[in-house]
Every structure is written in C-alpha cells, then in structure tokens.
Amino acid sequence: MKNSENGNMYEVTLEETWDLFAPYLDGARTGIVCVASAARLGDAARSALEKSAAALGYGCACCTYVVLRADGAAGDAALDGQALFLLLEGLDPLIVVAADAEAARALGAAYRQEVPLDGACRLFGRDAVAFKSFEHMLDDAQSKQAAWALLKKLPRFGER
C-alpha cells in the first residue's frame, strides 16, 4: 500500500490505478481524455483522437487509452463493469470517449446509465461521447466529418 503522507492523494490514486490495470492502459499517464475501446485502436484512430483533443484545447498527447480486453492480461480477462468503473474513477479524466459500441455498452453498465451510440452524454459528471466504430468512420471523408461533429459536442477546454 502506498502512503500519501509525502505526496498528493490524487497522484497516489493515479499511480495505484496504473499499477493495478497496467495491461489495459496505454497512452498519457495523466490523460485529460480517456478513450475506451474493445481492443487496441490503430495508429490512424489514435492520431485522429489526439489531433481532435488538441483542437479542442486539451493539448497534445493528452489521451489515455483503455482496452476492455488486454493482450497478455491473465487469461485475456475482460474488464467487468465494477473494474471499469474503478479504473476510470482512478484515472479521473475530464472527458470520456467510447470508441466503439462494445465500449459504450461497457461504460453504460459500469455507470448504470444509457450511453447513446453516436451521441453525447454525461458520465458521473464527465462529458462523454460514444461511437459505433470510430475507426470505421475514418474510412471516408463524410464519416470523418460526422466523427468530428460528434467530438465537437465535447466542451472546449476552459468552457465549463
């Protein structure tokens, strides 16, 4: 057990979360934006999300990526609702993005609320958007515009 006497309790919680859920996490260690997906997103999707977050004022390299099923995790176990809730609350991001329908369903189960596909909502006080499949939306110009329109429903940094 780590001791918070010499540090910030939020930093301790963040470090413990990364230690506990390491196989499921990637990206910025102190990410403002948390992107959940069923499996690891490709480089093009990650780049598009990072650029979108930067355009909204959240900075460069600000995304933490959470996968529901991690390669190399014990028995490739999937995160259940309780574990996903604990993971996200430990990371404490400002913004949550469900990159696919499976992640949206998992977030809905974790937070016991509806997470509308291709729509925006709030998760425990956080702004969130959910895609049916963000990666597939990058395949053509019209879908890219639709993805960007959904991401623009998130507040620009400093607006809330």
Is 16 among the domain residues? no
Q: What is the largest CA-CA distance in the chain?
A: 52
Angle between helices 141-151 and 43-55 (to 10 degrees): 50
Q: What percent of the chain has pLDDT over 90?
A: 82
Q: What are the C-alpha distances in Å from 96 to residues 1, 65, 77, 108? A: 28, 10, 22, 12
* Contact (CB, 8 A) for 93 and 124: no
33-37 vs 95-98, strand pairing mode: parallel
pLDDT reading at 160 higher than 90: no
Q: What is the residue type of 112?
A: R
pTM value surpassing 0.85: yes
Domain that holds residue 75: 36-126
Is 50 among the domain residues? yes
For the chain, the average pLDDT equals 91
Is 138 among the domain residues? no
Joined together, the tokens standing for residue 119 give 């729509």
Tally of domains in the chain: 1
Write down the H helix ranges in 27-153: 43-55, 81-91, 101-111, 134-137, 141-151
pLDDT reading at 4 higher than 80: no
Joined together, the tokens standing for residue 2 give 């780590």
* Contact (CB, 8 A) for 53 and 65: no
Each residue's pLDDT tens digit, 107-124: 999 999 999 999 999 999
Is 86 among the domain residues? yes
Q: What is the mean pLDDT of residues 81-88?
A: 96
Is 2 among the domain residues? no
Is 88 among the domain residues? yes
Q: What is the mean pLDDT of residues 26-54?
A: 96
Q: How confident is the model at residue 1 (pLDDT cuts 50, 70, 90)?
A: very low
Q: What is the residue type of 156?
A: R
* Contact (CB, 8 A) for 103 and 65: no
Q: How confident is the model at residue 72 (pLDDT cuts 50, 70, 90)?
A: low
Is 150 among the domain residues? no
Is 147 among the domain residues? no
